[in-house]
Amino acid sequence: MHDYLMELLVCPACHGELVWAVTERQGNDIVSGRAECPDCSADYPVQEGIGVFLTPDLPRQDLWEEVESRLSAYLREHPDIERKLLETPLEELAPADRFFRAMILDERGEFAEARAAADAATAGLYTREYLECSERQIEFALQLLSADTAPVVDLASGMGHLVERLARRLNRPIVATDFSPRVLRRDRRRFSSFGLGDRISFLAFDARRTPFRRGAVHTMTTYQGLLNIREPGDLLRELRRVVSGVLVALTFFFPEDDAANGALIEEFGLAQMAYREPALAQFRQAGWSVQVAASWKGVARPTPPSVLLEGAGIDALPAAETTLEWCVLEAH
Ligand SMILES: C[S@@+](CC[C@H](N)C(=O)[O-])C[C@H]1O[C@@H](n2cnc3c(N)ncnc32)[C@H](O)[C@@H]1O
């Protein structure tokens, strides 16, 4: 994490001031150290360049940790499957298996090969409309964000699809965040190998309990982040507390009468952000002035499952074909 962030951060648990001890730096980047909160005695490490501001009170399911440790345990027991995943010509693998090959290569630090496998996976996993609508969303957001130079904090960054586009296109410092330190560690290595290390900082925290001081975030983005946050509770109020400028949220909405996907959306605790009008109402209730700055509709289908890894799939939603509305929300 870059040192300009220190003055923006407080204890995520009690909002007390932090006392910093930096033990290793590379230029402006803090590689290791710790931040202590004298008010509530919480202690937050900076490890491998990632500030870890997770609090013990919120339950969280780190799917990166779960899927990747399950995948590596499975492949250790089945080296023949690992060989097939890695050695079969890419074009002969099912799209989901190309994705799993990308995950293995990414974990090994073979980032260029991982990118080629991930790109080959994407075209087979998603409908043309899905990909076109996502691309339009991102282009629209990049235009919107190009006029300013203040840092951009990206929420629930995952593999950093949006973070990479922001870092390549904008002349602004970017902060990648997620509650999974594991995915951020990999992002950091990958982005550094792509020459983007100087532009991107990394903070691990739960979006529902951020470590930012009131009003400290000028610009926040999120790409398919809101819909992935289970049991969001007061998420939008917490974001309202910390954002002083604009929140640009790239998301998609399900039709309200989509019973086939609706059951799963309820089961995952995702209903708050899954439907357009109720989601906008939630924003307003939390004190935001929000508008749909742009939107596009397209057909989405369930991502086809793996052939080599029995029972393994990619996205849980949509579970049945549907028409989604991709929106760029602009909230002040
Ligand atoms: C599929 S990713 C979204 C795509 C990503 N924004 C990108 O640009 O590639 C969703 C991410 O949300 C993260 N996530 C889920 N719940 C979260 C929470 N409460 N706080 C922070 N991150 C969360 C997950 O770990 C996952 O990495």
CA distance 155 to 175: 9
Per-residue model confidence as pLDDT tens digits over 8-58: 999 999 999 999 999 999 999 999 999 999 999 999 999 999 999 999 998
The radius of gyration of the chain's CA atoms, rounded to the nearest angstrom, is 20
Amino acid identity at 158: G
Class of domain 128-331: alpha beta
List ligand 1's pocket residues with C-beta within 6 A. 64, 156-162, 178-180, 183, 206-208, 223-225, 228-229
Cα(94) to ligand 1 centroid in Å equals 25
Which sequence spans correspond to the domains of the chain? 3-52, 128-331
pLDDT at residue 12, rounded to an integer = 98
Single pTM value for the model: 0.96
Cα(88) to ligand 1 centroid in Å equals 31
pLDDT at residue 89, rounded to an integer = 97
Pairing of strands 243-253, 29-36: unpaired
Residue nearest to atom 15 of ligand 1 (CA): 229
Res. 67: pLDDT tops 90: no
Cα(89) to ligand 1 centroid in Å equals 31
Res. 65: pLDDT tops 90: no
Cα(80) to ligand 1 centroid in Å equals 32
Q: Give the number of the atom of ligand 1 that is nearest the alpha carbon of residue 222.
A: 6
Average pLDDT taken over every residue of the chain: 96
Whether 324 and 254 have beta carbons less than 8 Å apart is answered as: yes
DSSP assignments along 127-181, one per residue: -HHHHHHHHHHHHHHHHHHTT--S-EEEES-TT-HHHHHHHHH-SS-EEEEES-H
Cα(222) to ligand 1 centroid in Å equals 9
Q: Ligand 1, residues 106, 115, 164, 180: which to mutate, most atoms within 8 A of Cβ?
A: 180
Res. 68: pLDDT tops 90: no
Q: How confident is the model at residue 186 (pLDDT cuts 50, 70, 90)?
A: very high
pLDDT at residue 310, rounded to an integer = 87
Per-residue model confidence as pLDDT tens digits over 73-90: 999 999 999 999 999 999
CA distance 226 to 234: 12
Taking CA 123 as the corner, what is the angle to CA 122 and CA 129, rounded to the nearest 5 degrees? 105
